[in-house]
């Protein structure tokens, strides 16, 4: 059984003529790491909001652990199960103190106080922020703020985490911290991840990639397969990492190398 | 010299004595294209704000176009007209009802006459690729993020600066937006003779555009030279945990494996040719 | 610099006063302030003043900081004294020069009122100096709780205060950045008359408001997706416990208030 299932989903914003999403079919299994990539305006952030019932589809169905998001009574059950991390690190932190922010969601779902303490401490440990419990949130770095947001979500023990461009506003250091944290949570803690991004190198560590363009899923599969179409990806305004460009250039000049996703891969293939 | 810094130190937390800038000496000449790299908190942003006197140093002297801005009553209007500064996410500073008014804000502050303001707004919008007639009466808030950023940049260009500083101008832009921006910077530098100072985390941007690269760390300038020179200090950059441009990284890694390969290449095409030359001719030890 | 402004004036510490339960501290402050209005003579003020000095000593507060807190109201205090001196009539004539006449009643009432205002401010600043804004909000929420029955949205008020505290530094930073960006375009925030200056603030305020609204929008989404449901019952990470120390402090305060009010 899939954790998350989207069937023929269509969604149109109020007052728009063109739907923001159409014919979306997508499944996510437990423990999977799924990346959704697309340029600005491809509909990927709308998709994220549908998963968390911040929006509801006009057509089609979205099932989270077999609960349909159309079911209004179970909306909080679904939100508890689908944790969301947003793009702007500043605009999702509610509290002045780190531990209070992690506790926010747990307080909302009325977890008893002693248990909140335990879960907060555990979540901070998982994202590597142990020792920051009583720090002021606005003094954290961008990467730390995003990890704090992730801690606030994993404390709620959702069945999956949806991250909507979590690194778009971070510097390289912060970006690295966040991606490493996500990768750790998926590989070591078996947490299901749905990463929405426009950075191909971030998507390359996923199990499966969906490519979105103009509200549709145009391509899907394992990263090595999907990223083979460099010219297509560039044409839909995606950031193709230089290493893939180089590999592509070498291939087009007749060199025989396998599909390359990372610098390590290229160097191994050449030497 | 357009800008000159002599022993500039800036302490931003008097109680804890944290130095944002530590004894900086720097000269910036006409028609340079300078890239500044460094970690968040390394002092880059503080440094560039010294250039147009938005921040005054705790000690040391700064000269801009011959004016001692650290002296008594400097002509700040002239300084800010000479040195234009585009902040990070500049679209967040838009405030007027029409694009025309927003771009005209700077020129009007300079007390220019209507005709001159008109002319400057036209030229500035044209430079950033927004059709004057189409855009002048529209609200800046109904534009896409990328267009808003171009309006904000036009607002600074309308000041007709001789030095243009941009702090992370490509943050959040998609590849097309970035290409357009690069084109604009090249044009301003080459056709309009503007000195450009670019702060960026994107090493590709820095290597492809700048003639001089400054690397900052803990308020000090640690490297200062041509891109080729600066990025040849691989160990030093790694120690500062700064990324190398991806292509440089690839070439260094091949070299470490024993390939006799050049490492001072910054474009995909040249890198591909070099790899084919070296690896293709089997001139390497496995 | 704008970012130098601290919220409230909390001085971190671990004295007995600091660790008292915030609810008790708020209630004590209310009791003492109420009794301030029941005081009939200067003896009461003298006792309260010494009480204040003792508390400052116990909680290790820098005396300078307490004085600084009084600075903004100096004008108000002086005005009160002067108005009373010249307007209140009665008692002996102490001084007369042409139409200016000072009578003893005026001098007495003026000083009396001034003492009352000064002590009022001292009590409230003692509270804010020894209680973090976060504890204050929590305390206020609990105290307002009984009022929920008559429709006072206590937890919402407290949530609003928490969020305000959280975003003040962020917005301050943003304001400073926008100000610099406009200065770089030749904006002038420092000169001109009052109207001119107010007008000059538009390039700062418009972007700041737009940004605040955008942040509010995104924050609302983030809170909703973390299951925040307004007034619905929530649990808390920090539970406040009232122990013997708090009760003792409360009894002492009540005793002091009674003594001072009916002395």
H or E element, residue B228: helix B227-230
Q: Do B80 and C202 touch (CB under 8 A)?
A: no
Are residue C88 and residue C199 in the same domain, yes or no? no
pLDDT at A104: 95
Highest mean pLDDT among A246-260, B50-64, C60-74: B50-64
Q: Do A54 and C218 touch (CB under 8 A)?
A: no
pLDDT band per the 50, 70, 90 thresholds, residue B102: very high
- Decide if C2 is inside a domain: no
N- to C-terminal Cα separation, chain A: 44
Count of domains forming chain C: 2
Nearest CA in chain C to B104: C185
**Tens-place pLDDT, residues B115-127:** 999 999 999 999 9
All residues of chain A having their beta carbon less than 8 Å from the beta carbon of residue B263 are: none
Tell me where in chain A the CATH 3.40.50.300 domain(s) lie: 4-228
Are residue C47 and residue C108 in the same domain, yes or no? yes
pLDDT band per the 50, 70, 90 thresholds, residue B281: low
Answer whether C133 touches A (CB < 8 Å).
yes
Which residue of B18, B92, B120, B140 to mutate against C (max C Cβ within 10 Å)?
Answer: B92
Q: Residues 231-260, chain C: which have Cβ within 8 Å of A?
A: 232-239
**Encoded tokens for B186:** 């090249």
pLDDT at A211: 97
All residues of chain A having their beta carbon less than 8 Å from the beta carbon of residue C163 are: 94
N- to C-terminal Cα separation, chain B: 51
Are residue C45 and residue C147 in the same domain, yes or no? yes
pLDDT band per the 50, 70, 90 thresholds, residue B286: very low
CA torsion, points A242, A244, A245, A250, in degrees to nearest 10?
Answer: 130
Q: Is the pLDDT of residue A94 over 90?
A: yes
Alpha-helical segments (H) within A127-171: 142-154
Q: Do A108 and C227 touch (CB under 8 A)?
A: yes
Are residue C135 and residue C170 in the same domain, yes or no? no
Topology of the domain comprising B3-226: Rossmann fold (3.40.50)
pLDDT band per the 50, 70, 90 thresholds, residue B218: very high
Are residue C89 and residue C32 in the same domain, yes or no? yes
Are residue C128 and residue C221 in the same domain, yes or no? no
Are residue C57 and residue C104 in the same domain, yes or no? yes
**Tens-place pLDDT, residues B233-258:** 999 999 998 989 999 999 999 999 88
DSSP E strand boundaries for chain C: 93-97, 100-103
CA distance to partner chain A, nearest, from residue B27 (Å): 28
Q: Is the pLDDT of residue B186 over 90?
A: yes
Q: Is the pLDDT of residue B173 over 50?
A: yes
pLDDT at C2: 44
Query: What is the phi/psi pair of residue C142, to 5°?
Result: -65, -40
**DSSP letter at A87?**
S
pLDDT at C4: 42
All residues of chain B having their beta carbon less than 8 Å from the beta carbon of residue C211 are: 92
Predicted structure pTM score: 0.88
pLDDT at C1: 41
Residue-wise pLDDT tens for chain C (263 aa)? 444 444 457 888 889 899 999 999 999 999 999 999 888 888 889 999 999 999 999 998 888 888 877 887 888 888 988 888 888 777 777 777 777 777 888 888 888 889 999 999 889 889 988 998 888 888 988 898 888 888 888 888 889 988 998 998 899 999 999 999 999 999 988 878 888 888 899 999 999 999 999 999 999 999 999 999 877 788 889 888 889 999 999 999 999 999 888 76
Phi-psi region of A257 (alpha: psi -120 to 50; beta: other; left: phi over 0): beta
All residues of chain B having their beta carbon less than 8 Å from the beta carbon of residue A239 are: 174-175
Q: What is the CATH number of domain A4-228?
A: 3.40.50.300
Percent of chain B with pLDDT over 70: 97
- Decide if C137 is inside a domain: yes
pLDDT at C64: 82
Q: Do B156 and C210 touch (CB under 8 A)?
A: no
- Decide if C180 is inside a domain: yes
Q: Average pLDDT, whole number, for chain A? A: 93
pLDDT at B210: 96
Are residue C103 and residue C56 in the same domain, yes or no? yes
CA–CA separation, A212 and A23 (whole Å): 11
Q: Do C186 and B85 touch (CB under 8 A)?
A: no
- Decide if C254 is inside a domain: yes
CA–CA separation, B236 and B83 (whole Å): 31
Mean pLDDT of A127-135: 95
pLDDT at B26: 97
pLDDT band per the 50, 70, 90 thresholds, residue A261: confident
Are residue C200 and residue C97 in the same domain, yes or no? no
pLDDT at C8: 58
**Tens-place pLDDT, residues A62-91:** 999 999 999 888 999 999 999 999 999 999
Q: Do C228 and A108 touch (CB under 8 A)?
A: yes
Nearest to A16 by CA among A63, A71, A55, A62: A55
- Decide if C223 is inside a domain: yes
Q: Which domain holds residue C131?
A: 7-153+239-263
- From the list A39, A243, A266, which residue is nearest B174 (CB)? A39
**Tens-place pLDDT, residues A181-191:** 999 999 999 99
pLDDT band per the 50, 70, 90 thresholds, residue B284: very low
CA–CA separation, C14 and C47 (whole Å): 26
Do the Cβ atoms of A40 and B145 come closer than 8 Å? yes
Mean pLDDT of A151-156: 97
Lowest average pLDDT, out of A212-226, B57-71, B198-212, B269-283, goes to B269-283
Q: Do B92 and C188 touch (CB under 8 A)?
A: no
Are residue C130 and residue C191 in the same domain, yes or no? no
- From the list A40, A173, A270, which residue is nearest B254 (CB)? A270
CA–CA separation, C50 and C31 (whole Å): 17
> What sign results for the dihedral spanned by CA atoms B187, B191, B192, B196?
positive
Are residue C199 and residue C100 in the same domain, yes or no? no
**B230 or C105: which carries more pLDDT confidence?**
B230
**B196 or A73: which carries more pLDDT confidence?**
B196
Contacts of B267 (CB under 8 A, 6+ apart): B208, B247
CA distance to partner chain B, nearest, from residue C174 (Å): 9
């Amino acid at each position: 059984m899939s954790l998350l299932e989207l069937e023929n989903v269509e969604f149109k914003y109020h007052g728009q003529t063109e739907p923001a999403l159409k014919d979306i079919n997508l499944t996510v299994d437990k423990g999977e790491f799924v990346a959704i990539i697309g340029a600005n305006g491809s509909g990927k952030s709308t998709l994220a909001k549908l998963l968390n019932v911040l929006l509801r589809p006009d057509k089609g169905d979205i099932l989270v652990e077999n609960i349909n998001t159309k079911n209004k009574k179970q909306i909080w059950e679904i939100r508890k199960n689908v944790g969301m991390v947003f793009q702007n690190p500043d605009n999702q932190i509610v509290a002045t103190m780190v531990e209070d922010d992690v506790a926010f969601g747990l307080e909302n779902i009325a977890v008893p106080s002693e248990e909140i303490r335990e879960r907060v401490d555990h979540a901070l440990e998982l994202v590597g922020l142990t020792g920051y419990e009583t720090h002021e949130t606005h003094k954290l770095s961008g990467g730390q703020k995003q990890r704090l947001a992730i801690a606030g979500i994993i404390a709620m023990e959702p069945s999956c985490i949806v991250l909507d461009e979590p690194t778009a506003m971070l510097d390289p250091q912060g970006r690295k911290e966040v991606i490493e944290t996500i990768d750790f949570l998926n590989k070591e803690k078996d947490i299901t991840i749905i990463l929405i991004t426009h950075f191909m190198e971030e998507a390359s560590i996923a199990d499966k990639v969906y490519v979105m363009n103009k509200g549709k899923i145009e391509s899907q599969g394992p990263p090595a397969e999907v990223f083979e179409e460099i010219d297509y990806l560039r044409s839909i305004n995606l950031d193709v990492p230089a290493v893939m460009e180089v590999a592509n250039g070498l291939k087009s000049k007749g060199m025989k190398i396998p599909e390359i996703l990372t610098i390590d891969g290229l160097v191994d293939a050449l030497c | 010299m357009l800008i000159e810094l002599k022993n500039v130190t800036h302490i931003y937390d008097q109680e804890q004595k944290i130095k944002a800038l530590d004894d900086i000496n720097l000269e910036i000449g006409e028609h340079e294209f300078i890239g500044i790299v460094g970690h968040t908190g390394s002092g880059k942003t503080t440094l560039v704000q010294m250039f147009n006197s938005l921040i005054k140093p705790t000690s040391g002297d700064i000269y801009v176009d011959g004016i001692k801005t650290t002296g008594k009553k400097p002509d700040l209007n002239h300084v800010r007209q000479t040195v234009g500064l585009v902040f990070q996410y500049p679209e967040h500073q838009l405030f007027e009802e029409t694009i025309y008014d927003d771009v005209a804000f700077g020129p009007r502050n300079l007390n220019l006459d209507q005709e001159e303001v008109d002319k400057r707004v036209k030229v500035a919008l044209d430079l950033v690729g927004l059709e004057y007639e189409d855009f002048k009466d529209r609200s800046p808030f109904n534009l896409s993020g990328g267009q808003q950023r171009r309006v904000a940049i036009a607002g600074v260009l309308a000041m007709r600066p001789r030095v243009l500083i941009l702090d992370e101008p490509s943050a959040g832009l998609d590849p097309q937006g970035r290409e357009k921006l690069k084109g604009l910077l090249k044009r301003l530098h080459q056709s309009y003779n503007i000195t450009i100072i670019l702060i960026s985390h994107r090493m590709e941007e820095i290597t492809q555009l700048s003639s001089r690269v400054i690397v900052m760390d803990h308020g000090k300038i640690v490297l200062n030279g041509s891109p080729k020179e600066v990025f040849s200090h691989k160990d030093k950059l790694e120690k500062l945990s700064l990324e190398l441009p991806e292509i440089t990284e690839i070439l260094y890694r091949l070299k470490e494996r024993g390939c006799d390969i050049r490492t001072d290449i910054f474009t995909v095409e040249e890198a591909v040719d070099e790899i084919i030359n070296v690896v293709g001719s089997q001139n390497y030890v496995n | 610099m704008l970012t130098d402004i601290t919220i409230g004036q909390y001085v971190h510490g671990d004295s007995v006063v600091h660790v008292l339960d915030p609810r008790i501290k708020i209630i004590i402050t209310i009791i003492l302030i109420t009794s301030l209005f029941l005081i009939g003579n200067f003896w009461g003020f003298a006792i309260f003043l010494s009480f204040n000095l003792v508390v400052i000593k116990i909680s290790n507060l820098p005396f300078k900081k307490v004085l600084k807190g009084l600075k903004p109201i100096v004008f108000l205090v002086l005005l009160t004294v002067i108005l009373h001196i010249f307007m209140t009539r009665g008692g002996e004539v102490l001084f007369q020069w042409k139409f200016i006449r000072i009578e003893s009643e005026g001098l007495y009432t003026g000083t009396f009122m001034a003492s009352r205002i000064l002590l009022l401010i001292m009590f409230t600043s003692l509270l804010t100096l020894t209680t973090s804004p976060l504890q204050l909000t929590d305390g206020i929420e609990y105290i307002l709780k009984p009022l929920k029955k008559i429709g006072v949205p206590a937890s919402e008020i407290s949530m609003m205060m928490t969020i305000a505290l959280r975003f003040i530094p962020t917005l301050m930073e943003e304001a400073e950045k926008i100000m610099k960006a406009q200065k770089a375009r030749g904006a002038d925030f420092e000169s001109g008359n009052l109207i001119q200056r107010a007008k000059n603030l538009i390039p700062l305020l418009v972007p700041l408001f737009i940004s605040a609204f955008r942040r509010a929008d995104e924050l609302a989404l983030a809170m909703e997706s973390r299951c925040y449901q307004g007034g619905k019952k929530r649990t808390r990470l920090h539970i406040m416990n009232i122990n013997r120390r708090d009760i003792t402090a409360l009894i002492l305060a009540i005793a002091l208030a009674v003594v001072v009010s009916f002395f």
